[in-house]
Amino acid sequence: MIQAIDILVLALLACTAVSVVRMRSLWAAVMLTGIYSFLGAGWMLVLDAPDVAFTEASVGAGIATILMLSTLALTSTEMKRPAASPVFPLLIVGVTGAALCYGTLDMPHFGDPNSPIHQHVAPEYLKDAVPTVHQKELKVGIGNIVTTVLASYRGYDTLGETVVIFTAGLGVLLLLQGPRKAGGSDGREEGAP
């Protein structure tokens, strides 16, 4: 049953991605990217990662779409017909994809509970959070293990990510809030606050 859902969602994801490639209207491509994000979020939910699905749905399908649409409003909504032939890019993509697929042959199977990723760090996190008979004293004692790891065990990491967001926000503000270049402007300066 779950496998059927997996395959259905993955097929929809693949269809959406391919239609984004073929789409020449940027407006439609942006909307399809939003759908792609939602489908991705749906699959993440099936894969037991509700936190990530939540983030992907609000960020990928919400804010990213809005920002891309506002960029389209400032630029153009149609793209030109690609001039070069698609053979060379297809070749590169095909070779890279084949190499990656060859690499997956050594990967643990989907959902395998004995794969290396489940043996090393995660069991300690779960052991610290889940009360057992032997261990009444909990290290953190918060229900959502993802939040625990995010904010406590990997606090440095999250601090770094917050600083990255801070820096990117500053970058956008510096790029878009400065005075408009005189050359290309026809005097509309209402954008500056």
* Cα–Cα dist 21/156, whole Å: 38
In the bound complex, what is the minimum distance in angstroms from residue 162's beta carbon to other proteins?
Answer: 5
Q: Is the separation of the CB atoms in 45 and 5 below 8 Å?
A: no
In the bound complex, what is the minimum distance in angstroms from residue 133's beta carbon to other proteins?
Answer: 7
> How many chain residues interact with other proteins (CB under 8 A)?
127
| 164 counts as binding other proteins under rule CB under 8 A | yes
| 185 counts as binding other proteins under rule CB under 8 A | yes
Strand partners, 120: none
| 122 counts as binding other proteins under rule CB under 8 A | yes
* Cα–Cα dist 179/166, whole Å: 22
| 4 counts as binding other proteins under rule CB under 8 A | no
User: Please, what's the b/e burial string for 66-101 (b: 16 or more CB within 10 A of its CB; e: otherwise)?
Assistant: eebeeebeeeeeeeeeeeeeeeeeeeeeeeeeeeee
| 5 counts as binding other proteins under rule CB under 8 A | no
| 28 counts as binding other proteins under rule CB under 8 A | no
| 42 counts as binding other proteins under rule CB under 8 A | no
| 91 counts as binding other proteins under rule CB under 8 A | no
In the bound complex, what is the minimum distance in angstroms from residue 106's beta carbon to other proteins?
Answer: 10
Distance of CA 156 to CAs 51, 159, 160, 167, Å?
20, 5, 6, 16
- Binding letters toward other proteins, positions 56-75, x by CB under 8 A: x-xxx-xxx-xxx-xxxxxx
Distance of CA 91 to CAs 23, 81, 85, 96, Å?
21, 20, 11, 9
In the bound complex, what is the minimum distance in angstroms from residue 87's beta carbon to other proteins?
Answer: 10
Please select the residue that binds other proteins; options are 5, 35, 182, 193, rule is CB under 8 A.
Answer: 193
